[in-house]
Amino acid sequence: LPGLQFDKYEPPRLTHRLDRDASGILILGRTRATTSELMRHFSDNAHKKSAARLHKPNKVYWAVVGGSPEFQRGKVELPLGKVADRSGREKIRVTEGSGVHAATNYAMKHKGTVDGAPVAWLSLYPVTGRKHQLRVHCATGLGCPIIGDGKYALPQLLPDGSHQRLHLHHRKVVLPWKTPGKKELTTVTAPLPPHMLETWRACGWN
């Protein structure tokens, strides 16, 4: 991140995960102190307290998945761990007994079709922040892989044209500071990228 240092005496630092192929918000800390505060805010404990007391998750993702979940809303709670596939490439898998705790709340917003195949628009609320958590929880926990996810989706479960980009978007972040003159914490939202907007239009979603 040195290219984003500009006139500051230190480069910015990452404060949370964002998959390389995902779109949306990425929050950087300008100083060590700010980065530490943001990382505490985005920590697993902060997510749990937010969900229990405020009912306002710190981070909200939008995804388009193949098929649709059985229930309108719910929670996926499956432990995750790193596993090497036959080619030696590392993947994240559900690993009962040996994995780390991972939990994701979800809500189905709308259903639609892409290339004649059923899809659904989900809002995802990560309670924990594990690598590739949302992708694995959708594919394995819900049986509804994210469109464009060539790593964790079975080809037969995805609509035709699934070679397109990953349909996972970091839509909203609530920051731990209030906007001047307002009582609410600062909220940042990111517009959908072009490839996801095209799917929204095709499905008639607003």
Q: Catalytic site residues?
A: 19
Token pair recorded at residue 178: 């209030």
Give the integer Cα–Cα distance in Å for 68 and 73.
Answer: 11
Q: What is the pTM of this model?
A: 0.82
3-17, 39-53, 124-138, 151-165 — which is least confidently predicted? 39-53
Half-sphere exposure (CA, 13 Å, Cβ side) for 176?
Answer: 16
Give the integer Cα–Cα distance in Å for 168 and 19.
Answer: 9
Interval 44-74: pLDDT, tens: 555 555 444 444 457 899 999 999 999 999 9
% pLDDT > 70, the chain: 80
Q: What angle do CA 35, 41, 42 make, to 5 degrees?
A: 90
Q: Indicate whether 171 pLDDT > 70.
A: yes
DSSP string of 86-138, one letter each residue = TTS-EEEEE-TTTSBP-EEEEEEEEEEEETTEEEEEEEEEESS--TTHHHHII
